[in-house]
Structure 1
């Protein structure tokens, strides 16, 4: 499992800033505000993603992607639970995989392996199988909202 302490947090912070989000790193001994799954999983309140050094990178990206895919007006009042629909959940999963490529030392391959290790479940049995063979609706959802290039599997921004 790749943790926040294992990567360049400034690269993650810049990635989130590109989507008008903030990353707040919490001291190791403090609770993580807005964590839906409990510590050490990332939390969110408004446009801020909270994490500690022991927070898995996939968790930070997943919560950030929830904020990225939701309408701006909802983002301001979100606290802890960002899920609005299965479509948004799937879009968040898809986008976190794509955005992992923007982080040095992370990449989609590592992120998908960590998602499987954490326990994400997909119909086809693995994150990779879902991403490559069963995520067309999530991809189209992101493309329609201009969050993903219509011709590649790359994020816009």
Structure 2
């Protein structure tokens, strides 16, 4: 599999993703094809975040959309409102973000955690046990504890 084989927003539909984010107090904004994505840390087709808004195009990978949204969700609301492009430099928050995006993948029709973890591996997420699944199942207790304390898992 290469990076062109990951699920994109166009594959799952804007409405399902927007509804999921809305349930968590976030707004999804569609960016027209070829336009730069506001608040995108990585550029290209990667999702962007500004405050409680997530920005994506049809070619944005689902894992990117969920990852950036989850960056906002793991933050306290007072910090969330101040975010523009870069949500955190905390390892704890980054790990919690990765864990939460896997959980939320189960709430998107046609995605699910197994597919999202495969896409994360394809895209190049790096975990010390070698795969997203191994990390999630064997090495993510701290991320789960972080989320549990905050009522997110």
Q: How far apart in 2 are the matches of 1:147 and 1:96? A: 11
Specify which of 50, 56, 77 is matched with residue 61 of structure 2: 56
1:153 is aligned to none
Cα distance in 2 for residues equivalent to 1:61 and 1:23: 11
SS state of the match for residue 38, structure 2? coil
1:18 aligns with 2:23: yes
Q: Report Cα offsets for 1:33-81 as digits up to 9, x if no partner.
A: 0000111000000100000011000000000000000010011110000
Query: Which secondary structure does the structure 2 equivalent of 1:113 belong to?
Result: helix
Choose the corresponding residue for 1:123, options 121, 128, 134.
128
Shift of 1:83: 1.3
Q: Distance in 1 between matches of 2:86 and 2:45?
A: 16
Secondary structure, counterpart of 2:64 in structure 1: helix
SS class of match (1:55): coil
| Aligned-residue offset at 1:8 | 2.4
The structure with the largest helix share of the pair is: 2
Instruction: State the partner residue of 2:147.
Output: 142
Gaps of 5+ in 2: 1-5
**CA distance in structure 1 between the partners assigned to 2:34 and 2:91 by the alignment:** 34
TM-score, with length taken from structure 2? 0.95
Between the aligned partners of 1:147 and 1:111, the Cα distance in structure 2 is: 18
Unaligned runs of 5+ in 1: 149-157
Runs of 4+ in 1 over 3 A off after TM superposition: none
2:103 is aligned, of 92, 98, 104, to 98
- Tell me the C-alpha RMSD between the 2 structures: 0.6
